[in-house]
């Protein structure tokens, strides 16, 4: 075997052609739809769950790809494409998956990957790829290598049909799109002349030819893939040998052993193409004299379909380069630039173009052969063409005679069409010829070789037939009588050619002429007669013509004219004959469905529409179809009072109604959907009329519009009269509803989601879960994944409903397992709840969360509030809310117990999912909603928060109770204190009861004990829960602050280390910083402080210590100008980093990214851990500060207080200072921030040593009147500790701002320099100037 001299193909050429195919496919949605449809039909039938899942994955990937192409968001497109790629790569390979991957890679600008995927289709399914998916790509990329195959085919064909092969040369051959003279001589029925052996031989040759082409596609696709993978050109890849015919007696292929230019003899006696695959096209030669080389677009290897527009206008397809008279220059040829289709602008580098040009020079010799095979006839050669019948009608043949256009000639008989029929492939044939082709057992199109879905021939192509008649009228002297003579003579005739002169045709034509004449008389009577009876008879006659014509001849244009339509309307106005009225409406409906001009004529006069509506309301049910066609022009459809009549049509069986262009029931459902959507009261009429079952059956309709309308009607019925919900849930088939979701518009999709969401609001939990499982498992695609994709693009106020349905579907699985669907749904609900810019979305999110509790009335209203009131002890209110028929559908006590068990299980699972998301993030969002001024939002958030907090008692303790307490307990206390409504007080009490077992929650409650006790006394007559809570608070004390007891635990003398300048607490450890640079670590056990570590790495005093709780790190600031970072371990601390602060450090505060401290000079220095620093408030001598939530509160030497916003850099004054030129200054010695309040301790000269401001508006809200010179301060949830001179610590009530009698004494001749409270508020630690550390236990 030797290898043929095959043209070498570069990677740039391969990428250029494949990129053009991908780009064209991406730019044309209709082309993609056709390709996807073709590939879906080729998928194997699902025989198991794995195959079903694979098909669903492919469909889902196709849908996601369409979304990615349509979206304008780059982020959504990227995520969608990544999801598609993962989905396809995880499934089995198929041509469908390869095509989808090529489009994905095309959008991602991965041109090589896209090309490899396309080549994989040609390798795995070559016949499908070259005939249906990418025929142009096959011609441009593969055909150039297959000339030996064509030569082989022509030799074999000539051997089989030696007497039928025309003696023509390729240099003078004009090949038409519809030219089949390759196999059949002109002027004869060649099929009948072929012997049985010849027919069998041709079929066998065709089969061999197909297999040879397939094998060559596989071979060359592998070759092209190797070229693409050889990116660096490091190895030489020779083209493969061309595969030829099967060897006799074996299944092995024979390979071509001749060079491409050796043998041209094979082309002399026959055409290169198979019987079905010749087309009129030329290949442009390369322009050698031009500096810019244009790549020619090769003609299709298979003839392309001729569009109707091309037939009518006379245009050739865009790839056709047929010659015209006097056209000789290349500039006048149509060209197509492949560069416009390139996916990557850098595809052709200069080096690649140069290489391409060099190789194209070698390619010219082979291209010349293709030109000879396909070159159109020139002006000179056309005169001697052996087959002038195929020339264009504008071209002149010898003697000035004209030939008909190619599209008017049958490709089988080579004669003018008499009865043209257009197959589903787009090719047109003479009816008798194609029928004979089919009768021989063929089931494919002779030209395209595509399989025909049906072998039943369609109706006559009257458009083409009229064009032929028009051409004959314009050329009355032309006769077209093809014969075997290469130069047929055209004999002039006196009158136009008749299609057929057989006796049967003459009789048939006479019958048609008689019918047309009778029809014209009927139309004339309809339009002109003033006698009603004649007009009525004319209508009945026209209806009979329409029914019997079977579109064998066209009467639509005759009937669609405005005078005829007006004649029909006049009959409607005047006739009382039901049969005539029904016939008239039928004709107008049929005409209007085919021609929009009829609709425009009917709507020009309002009285015409009113007449049709009046007839419909009087019982002419067929008129509903005509009203449907007019619906877009009727502005007041709702006001026409059509509901009763529409329901009457809907209740009728289809068999009782006329067979029209549209089923009357379908029209009625669509119209009812329009009316129900615009009126709130009509839904009750629909449900009371008992037409629900018929409307529910429309969910299974093949009409997408009817299905969508039925969904809208049923949704409105459930929203306005929820009692029909059970009927709909019981009888509705949800699979068609889910199927329609993919092809629906965004508004229709939300209607479907809303419909499904309303459907799962039944008063029986078990039924709800059954429906949820149906929604999850049925449908052609993954419902959850489809909802997830839709959730990303849905409108903001639609998102909560979509997220709710997605969350409920996800909850059918184990709630403790992680799920992307759950995370996305929860994030969406919280995002919508916090979106203050869209209040409707906030309200929808809050109400959705409330309904997730899972209990509903028979009308579908959420029962969450009523259930909570019952649990709070208000049984009477609950019974008033819940009607006694709530459980009326239950068959017995056992079923009631089962329902209650299912409801409790659902409630626990849902509460766990909602509360545990992001460690209680939903509580924070609900707390924000409780502050809203929108009453609906505030009310829904209150019920949702009460439910979730109450359910914490039934859920495992994962720490989320603390998050709920931090976010909500103060809001519940506030509501309990201020609410005037008994129900609101009871709900707040139910929520507060969940915090009694929480020590920290109890502390919060004790801070407002008096007000809580007061409210409990008011509620105890309504609910036992209030009486139980009252017992907890009924200890007789007037203030919870007075309940605190302080017991001295231990006192340690550290005077050898100097003053105790700073103390901090972390878990069970206490850290102290001393003036000699020592840091000590203590642990408290019982009443003894154990020193576990003493370390001295600072050279000067440790002025301050700061804890970073999130990282378990302690920072120490010192006068030695450094800050050290210490990691906290079980046995002590270890220095891990030292920062040079370049200034003395006083009063250190830290965050993850920076620290703040008071330097030796004025202001505050902000130091980044990465090394940079910045001075703040440099005009003030700062004495102390507090860093909270990105804001610094400064206390200065001149007794002023400022706020510095680190985000905006703004400085606000809380208290102005006083400059004293003489005398002692009054500095702010310490400042603290707690619960939105700023506490600043300064001089007591004005009677208030400690002043309290609101951090929100800087208003002075209180003060502590003490004479103590305060040097240190610590604040707990209820108490304020002030330390100063004399070694005493005063205790103040934080809420009442009054002093408690107790005073803690640390010494007499010292100052309290530092105070600290442990996070649990169980220990108070003091550090004094005489070096002592003292601890008190708080209880």
Residue bearing the bigger pLDDT, 1232 or 365: 1232
Here the tokens at position 762 are 């039944």
Q: Is 994 left (phi over 0), alpha (psi -120 to 50) or beta?
A: alpha
Distance (Å) of CA 1065 to CA 1070, 1081, 1291, 1315: 5, 10, 20, 10
Mean pLDDT: which of 108-122, 683-697, 711-725, 873-887 is highest? Answer: 108-122
Handedness of CA 1311, 1317, 1318, 1324 (dihedral sign): positive
**Other CB atoms within 10 A of residue 119 CB:** 26
Q: What is the pLDDT of residue 1063?
A: 94
Helical residues (DSSP H) of 864-992, grouped into ranges: 864-871, 875-881, 893-916, 921-930, 935-951, 960-978, 982-992
- Answer for the pair 1254, 1237: CB distance below 8 angstroms, yes or no: yes
pLDDT band at 828 (very low <50, low <70, confident <90, very high): very high
Q: What is the pLDDT of residue 510?
A: 60
Question: For residue range 1002-1015, what is the model confidence (pLDDT) as tens digits?
Answer: 888 888 877 887 78
- Count H helices and E strands in the chain, helices first: 46, 32
Rg (CA), the chain: 45
* Segment among 504-508, 579-583, 824-828, 1066-1070 with least mean pLDDT: 504-508
DSSP 298: P
**CA nearest to 7, candidates 323, 298, 245:** 298
Partners of residue 263 on adjacent β-strands: none
**CA nearest to 343, candidates 68, 111, 536, 634:** 111
- Examine the pLDDT at 1041 and tell me if it is beyond 60: no
Mean pLDDT: which of 686-690, 979-983, 1077-1081 is highest? Answer: 1077-1081
Burial class of residue 576 in the structure, from the number of CB atoms within 10 Å of its CB (0-12 exposed, 13-18 middle, 19+ buried): exposed
Angle between helices 839-851 and 799-810 (to 10 degrees): 20
- Mean pLDDT value across residues 1015-1042: 68
pLDDT band at 690 (very low <50, low <70, confident <90, very high): low
Whole-number mean pLDDT of the chain?
76
To the nearest whole percent, how much of the chain has pLDDT over 70? 76
- Mean pLDDT value across residues 987-1016: 83
- Answer for the pair 334, 328: CB distance below 8 angstroms, yes or no: no
Separation of alpha carbons 1013 and 1007, rounded Å: 12
Q: What is the pLDDT of residue 1035?
A: 54
Q: Which DSSP helix (H) or strand (E) runs through 562?
A: helix 562-574
- Examine the pLDDT at 100 and tell me if it is beyond 60: yes
- Answer for the pair 1127, 1133: CB distance below 8 angstroms, yes or no: yes
Those residues with Cβ within 8 angstroms of residue 1090's Cβ, 6 or more apart along the chain or in another chain: 1082, 1083, 1084
pLDDT band at 116 (very low <50, low <70, confident <90, very high): very high
Mean pLDDT: which of 485-494, 1012-1021, 1126-1135 is highest? Answer: 1126-1135
Partners of residue 862 on adjacent β-strands: 856
Residue bearing the bigger pLDDT, 872 or 329: 872
Q: What is the pLDDT of residue 1328?
A: 92
Question: For residue range 41-56, what is the model confidence (pLDDT) as tens digits?
Answer: 888 777 666 777 788 8
- Answer for the pair 134, 21: CB distance below 8 angstroms, yes or no: yes
Separation of alpha carbons 867 and 847, rounded Å: 16
> What are the strands of the beta sheet with 1154-1158, ordered from one edge?
1146-1150, 1154-1158, 1164-1168, 1173-1176
DSSP 1044: -
**Other CB atoms within 10 A of residue 168 CB:** 19
- Mean pLDDT value across residues 603-607: 76
Question: For residue range 733-775, what is the model confidence (pLDDT) as tens digits?
Answer: 888 888 888 788 888 889 899 999 998 988 888 888 888 988 8
Separation of alpha carbons 735 and 894, rounded Å: 32
- Examine the pLDDT at 1087 and tell me if it is beyond 80: no
Residue bearing the bigger pLDDT, 280 or 257: 257
Here the tokens at position 954 are 């039934």
- Examine the pLDDT at 1027 and tell me if it is beyond 70: yes
Question: For residue range 1234-1282, what is the model confidence (pLDDT) as tens digits?
Answer: 888 999 998 776 667 899 999 888 899 998 888 888 889 999 877 899 9
Report the SS3 class of residue 784.
Answer: helix
- Mean pLDDT value across residues 619-629: 87
- Mean pLDDT value across residues 1049-1076: 90
- Examine the pLDDT at 394 and tell me if it is beyond 90: no
- Answer for the pair 1318, 1307: CB distance below 8 angstroms, yes or no: no
HSE value, Cβ hemisphere, 13 Å, CA-based, for 476: 3
- Answer for the pair 385, 391: CB distance below 8 angstroms, yes or no: yes
**Other CB atoms within 10 A of residue 743 CB:** 10
Angle at 407 between CA 404 and CA 412, to 5 degrees: 100
- Answer for the pair 457, 465: CB distance below 8 angstroms, yes or no: no
To the nearest whole percent, how much of the chain has pLDDT over 90? 16
Mean pLDDT: which of 318-322, 397-401, 996-1000, 1112-1116 is highest? Answer: 1112-1116
- Examine the pLDDT at 795 and tell me if it is beyond 60: yes
Mean pLDDT: which of 282-296, 558-572, 690-704, 938-952 is highest? Answer: 938-952
- Examine the pLDDT at 633 and tell me if it is beyond 70: no
Q: Is 619 left (phi over 0), alpha (psi -120 to 50) or beta?
A: left
Separation of alpha carbons 1164 and 1184, rounded Å: 9
pLDDT band at 815 (very low <50, low <70, confident <90, very high): low
Partners of residue 1064 on adjacent β-strands: 1071
φ/ψ (deg, to 5) at 1107: -105, 130
**Other CB atoms within 10 A of residue 966 CB:** 16
Instruction: Return the exposure string of 1285-1294: e unless at least 16 CB atoms fall within 10 Å of the residue's CB, then b.
Output: ebbbbbbbbb
Q: Is 1267 left (phi over 0), alpha (psi -120 to 50) or beta?
A: alpha
Residue bearing the bigger pLDDT, 703 or 1231: 1231
**Other CB atoms within 10 A of residue 414 CB:** 26
Q: What is the pLDDT of residue 308?
A: 31
* Segment among 189-193, 373-377, 967-971 with least mean pLDDT: 373-377
φ/ψ (deg, to 5) at 1058: 85, -155
Separation of alpha carbons 121 and 114, rounded Å: 11
- Examine the pLDDT at 493 and tell me if it is beyond 60: no
């Amino acid at each position: 075997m030797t290898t043929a001299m095959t043209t070498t193909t570069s990677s740039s050429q391969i990428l250029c052609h494949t990129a053009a195919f991908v780009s064209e496919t991406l730019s044309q949605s209709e082309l993609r739809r056709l390709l996807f449809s073709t590939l879906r039909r080729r998928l194997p039938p699902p025989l198991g769950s794995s195959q079903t899942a694979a098909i669903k994955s492919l469909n889902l990937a196709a849908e996601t790809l369409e979304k990615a192409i349509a979206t304008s968001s780059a982020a959504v497109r990227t995520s969608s494409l990544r999801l598609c790629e993962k989905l396809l790569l995880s499934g089995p390979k198929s041509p469908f998956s390869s095509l989808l991957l090529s489009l994905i890679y095309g959008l991602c600008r991965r041109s090589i990957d896209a090309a490899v995927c396309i080549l994989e289709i040609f390798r795995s399914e070559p016949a499908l790829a070259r005939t249906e998916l990418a025929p142009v790509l096959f011609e441009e990329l593969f055909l150039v290598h297959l000339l030996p195959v064509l030569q082989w085919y022509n030799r074999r064909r000539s051997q089989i049909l030696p007497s039928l092969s025309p003696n023509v040369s390729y240099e003078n051959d004009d090949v038409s799109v519809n030219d089949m003279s390759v196999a059949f001589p002109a002027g004869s029925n060649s099929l009948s002349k072929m012997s049985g052996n010849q027919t069998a031989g041709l079929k066998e040759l065709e089969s061999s030819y197909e297999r040879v082409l397939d094998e060559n596609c596989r071979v060359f696709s592998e070759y092209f893939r190797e070229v693409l993978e050889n990116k660096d050109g490091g190895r030489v890849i020779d083209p493969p040998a061309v595969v030829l015919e099967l060897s006799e007696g074996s299944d092995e292929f024979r390979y071509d052993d001749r060079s491409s230019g050796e043998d041209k003899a094979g082309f002399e006696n026959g055409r290169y193409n198979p019987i079905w695959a010749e087309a009129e096209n030329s290949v442009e030669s390369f322009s050698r004299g031009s500096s810019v080389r244009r790549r020619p677009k090769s003609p299709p290897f298979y003839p392309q379909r001729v569009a109707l527009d091309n037939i009518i206008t006379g245009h050739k397809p865009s790839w056709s380069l047929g010659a015209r008279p006097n056209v000789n220059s290349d500039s006048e040829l149509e060209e197509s630039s492949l560069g416009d289709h390139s996916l990557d602008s850098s595809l052709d580098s200069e080096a690649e173009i140069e290489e391409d040009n060099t190789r194209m020079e070698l390619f010219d010799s082979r291209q010349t052969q293709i030109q000879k095979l396909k070159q159109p006839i020139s002006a000179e050669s056309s005169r001697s063409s052996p087959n002038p019948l195929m020339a264009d009608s504008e071209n002149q043949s010898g003697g000035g005679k004209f030939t008909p256009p190619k599209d008017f000639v049958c490709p089988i008989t080579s004669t003018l069409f008499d009865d043209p029929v257009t197959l589903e492939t787009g090719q047109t044939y003479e009816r008798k010829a194609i029928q004979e082709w089919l009768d021989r057992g063929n089931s494919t199109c002779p030209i395209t070789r595509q399989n025909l879905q049906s072998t039943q021939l369609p109706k006559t192509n009257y458009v083409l037939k009229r064009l032929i008649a028009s051409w004959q009228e314009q050329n009355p002297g032309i006769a077209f009588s093809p014969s075997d003579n290469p130069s047929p003579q055209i004999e002039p005739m006196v009158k136009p050619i008749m299609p057929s002169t057989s006796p049967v045709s003459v009789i048939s034509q006479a019958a048609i002429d008689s019918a047309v004449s009778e029809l014209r008389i009927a139309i004339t009577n309809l339009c002109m007669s003033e006698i009603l009876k004649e007009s009525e008879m004319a209508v009945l006659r026209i209806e009979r013509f329409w029914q019997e014509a079977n579109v064998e001849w066209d009467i639509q244009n005759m009937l669609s004219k405005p005078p005829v339509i007006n004649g029909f309307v006049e009959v409607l106005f005047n006739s009382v004959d039901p049969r005539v009225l029904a016939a008239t409406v039928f004709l107008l409906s049929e005409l209007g469905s085919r021609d929009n001009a009829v609709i425009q004529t009917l709507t020009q006069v309002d009285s015409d529409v009113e007449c049709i509506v009046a007839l419909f309301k009087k019982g002419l049910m067929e008129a509903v179809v005509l009203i449907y066609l007019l619906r877009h022009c009727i502005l007041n459809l709702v006001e026409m009072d059509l509901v009763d009549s529409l329901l009457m049509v809907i209740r009728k069986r289809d068999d009782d109604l006329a067979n029209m262009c549209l089923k009357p029931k379908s029209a009625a459902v669509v119209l009812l959907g329009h009316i129900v959507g615009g009126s709130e009261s009509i839904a009750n009429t629909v449900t009371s009329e008992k037409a629900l079952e018929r409307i529910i059956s429309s969910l299974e309709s093949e009409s997408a519009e009817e299905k969508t309308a039925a969904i809208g009607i049923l949704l409105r019925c459930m929203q306005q009269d929820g009692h029909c919900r059970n009927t709909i849930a019981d009888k509705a088939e949800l699979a068609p509803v889910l199927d329609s979701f993919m092809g629906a518009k965004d508004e229709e999709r939300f209607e479907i989601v809303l419909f499904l969401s309303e459907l799962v609001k039944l008063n029986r939990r078990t039924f709800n879960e059954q429906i949820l499982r149906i929604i999850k498992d049925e449908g052609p695609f993954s419902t959850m994944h489809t909802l997830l994709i839709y959730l990303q693009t849905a409108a903001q106020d639609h998102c909560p409903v979509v997220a709710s349905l997605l969350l409920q579907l996800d909850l059918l699985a184990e709630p403790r397992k992680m799920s992307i669907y759950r995370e996305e749904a929860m994030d969406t609900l919280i995002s919508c709840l916090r979106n203050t810019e869209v209040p409707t979305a906030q309200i929808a999110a809050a109400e959705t969360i409330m309904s997730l509790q899972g209990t509903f009335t028979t009308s579908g209203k959420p029962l969450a509030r009523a259930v909570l009131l019952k649990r709070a002890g208000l049984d009477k209110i609950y019974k008033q809310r819940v009607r006694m028929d709530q459980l009326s559908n239950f068959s017995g006590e056992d079923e009631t117990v089962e329902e209650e068990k299912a409801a409790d299980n659902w409630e626990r699972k849902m509460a766990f999912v909602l509360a545990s998301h992001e460690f209680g993030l939903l509580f924070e969002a609900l707390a924000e909603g409780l502050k809203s001024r929108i009453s609906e939002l505030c009310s829904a958030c209150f019920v949702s928060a009460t439910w979730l907090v109450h359910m914490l008692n039934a859920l495992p303790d994962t720490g989320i109770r603390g998050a709920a307490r931090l976010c909500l307990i103060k809001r519940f206390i506030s509501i309990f204190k201020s609410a005037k409504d008994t129900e609101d007080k009871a709900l707040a009490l139910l929520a507060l009861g969940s915090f009694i077992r929480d020590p920290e929650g109890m502390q919060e409650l004790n801070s407002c004990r008096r007000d809580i006790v007061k409210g409990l006394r008011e509620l105890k007559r309504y609910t036992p829960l209030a009486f139980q809570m009252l017992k907890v608070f009924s200890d007789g004390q007037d203030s919870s602050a007075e309940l605190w007891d302080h017991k001295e635990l231990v006192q340690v003398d550290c005077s050898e280390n100097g003053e105790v300048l700073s103390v901090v607490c972390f878990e069970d450890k206490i850290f102290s910083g001393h003036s000699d640079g020592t840091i000590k670590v203590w642990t408290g056990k019982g009443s003894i402080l154990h020193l576990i570590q003493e370390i001295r790495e600072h050279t000067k005093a440790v002025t301050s210590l700061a804890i970073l709780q999130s990282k378990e790190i302690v920072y120490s600031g010192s006068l030695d100008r450094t800050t050290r970072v210490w990691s906290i371990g079980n046995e002590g601390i270890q220095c891990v980093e030292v920062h040079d602060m370049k200034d003395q450090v006083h009063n250190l505060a830290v965050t993850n990214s920076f620290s703040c401290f008071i330097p030796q000079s004025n202001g505050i220095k902000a130091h980044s851990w990465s090394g940079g620093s910045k001075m703040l408030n440099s005009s003030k001598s700062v004495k102390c500060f507090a860093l909270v939530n990105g804001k610094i509160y400064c206390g200065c030497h001149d007794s002023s207080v400022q706020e510095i916003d680190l985000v905006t850099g703004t400085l606000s004054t809380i208290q102005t200072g006083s400059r004293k030129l003489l005398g002692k200054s009054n500095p702010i010695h310490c400042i603290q921030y707690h619960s939105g309040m700023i506490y600043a301790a300064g001089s007591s000269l004005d009677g208030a040593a400690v002043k309290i401001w609101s951090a929100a508006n800087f208003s002075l809200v209180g003060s502590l009147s003490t004479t103590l010179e305060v040097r240190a301060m610590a604040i707990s949830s209820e108490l304020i500790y002030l330390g100063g001179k004399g070694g005493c610590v005063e205790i103040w009530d934080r809420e009442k701002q009054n002093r408690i009698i107790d005073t803690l004494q640390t010494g007499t001749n010292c100052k309290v320099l530092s105070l600290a409270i442990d996070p649990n508020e169980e220990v108070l630690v003091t550090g004094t100037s005489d070096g002592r550390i003292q601890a008190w236990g708080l209880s």
